[in-house]
Amino acid sequence: MSEVQYDDYGRMKYHPDFHPNHGKKMTNDEISYMCRFWETDGAKSIAAALGRTEKTLMSKVSMLRKQGRFDYYMERWNRMEAKEACI
């Protein structure tokens, strides 16, 4: 395993052992998960869960907020949870 490196902000740089989904398109479920837990879990935890870099997720969240779609995806996760609770 190669050495893990961090940027000037303390974020882990891309490492194939920790970021297996790097470069892959995010699914709607991944985006919904990220938006739902962004405020409570933070970038580091979500990046580990999704196998992506913190920087990638921060860029995605910024883009979704600018486009006004962040809340849509957060509510999408809540709807999925409610639907599963009824099953």
Domain residue ranges of the chain, discontinuous segments joined by +: 1-87
Q: Within 10 Å of residue 9's Cβ, how many Cβ atoms?
A: 8
pLDDT in tens, 65-76: 999 999 999 999
Q: What residues contact 11, with CB distance under 8 A and at least 6 apart?
A: 43, 44, 53, 54, 55
Q: Give residue 87's pLDDT.
A: 62
Q: Within 10 Å of residue 11's Cβ, how many Cβ atoms?
A: 15
Question: Taking 80 as the threshold, does the pLDDT of residue 86 lie above it?
Answer: no
Which of 31, 30, 32, 26 shows the shortest CA–CA distance to 76?
32
